């Protein structure tokens, strides 16, 4: 039973963090973000909740695998990336500070890749579950940088 709970609570945590972030950024999504000069490769607004739902599910399942093998270093790195993930929404959207969002997302990129590389030796499926996240972050980092430079 503990093994199953180790999958459930991380998934719920990820979705809870995502939900909280969406509440903090809601005002900016209406008043600020639509008026920014954005890159031509910016996905449609509908893509964001779909992509993040998949990513949060995989992030939580990945942590569940790491918890079930008892890999404490992986848990610490995973936690750091989740904090940075949430902080990005606050910096970029709530505070409307693309520069600080960019600094945060670069740190987030590092910790997400660091997690993937670190857990690869211990649990390959946990690493593979982070690949969509890494790919999404490549795009998000570019988009954040574009907004920072062009607004």
- CA max distance for the chain: 51
The CATH number given to whatever domain includes residue 51 is: 1.20.1260.100
Q: Which domain holds residue 126?
A: 2-150
- CA atoms within 13 A of residue 135's CA, in its CB half-sphere: 10
Model pLDDT for residues 63-104, shown as the tens digit of each residue: 999 999 999 999 999 999 999 999 999 999 999 999 999 999
Q: What total number of domains does the chain contain?
A: 1
Q: What is the per-residue pLDDT for 57?
A: 98
Q: What is the per-residue pLDDT for 142?
A: 98
Q: What is the per-residue pLDDT for 23?
A: 95
For residue 107, what are the contacts with CB-CB under 8 A and spacing of at least 6?
84
Q: What is the per-residue pLDDT for 115?
A: 98
Return the sign of the alpha-carbon dihedral for residues 1, 124, 61, 68.
Answer: positive
Which residue ranges in the chain fall short of pLDDT 50?
Answer: none
Nearest-CA neighbor of 68 among 26, 114, 28, 122?
A: 122
Q: What is the per-residue pLDDT for 56?
A: 98
Q: What distance in Å separates the CA atoms of residue 136 and residue 77, rounded to the nearest whole number?
A: 19
Q: What is the per-residue pLDDT for 85?
A: 98
């Amino acid at each position: 039973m503990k093994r199953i709970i180790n999958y459930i609570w991380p998934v719920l945590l990820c979705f809870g963090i995502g939900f909280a972030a969406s509440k903090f950024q809601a005002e900016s999504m209406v008043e600020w973000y639509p008026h920014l000069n954005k890159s031509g490769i910016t996905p449609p607004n509908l893509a964001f909740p779909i992509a993040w739902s998949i990513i949060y599910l995989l992030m939580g399942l990945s942590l569940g695998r790491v918890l079930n093998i008892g890999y404490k270093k992986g848990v610490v790195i995973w936690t750091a990336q989740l904090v940075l993930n949430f902080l990005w929404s606050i910096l970029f959207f709530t505070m409307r500070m693309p520069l600080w969002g960019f600094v945060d997302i670069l740190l987030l990129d590092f910790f997400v890749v660091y997690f993937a590389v670190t857990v690869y030796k211990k649990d390959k499926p946990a690493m593979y579950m982070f690949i969509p996240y890494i790919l999404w972050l490549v795009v998000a980092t570019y988009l954040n940088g574009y907004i920072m430079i062009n607004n």
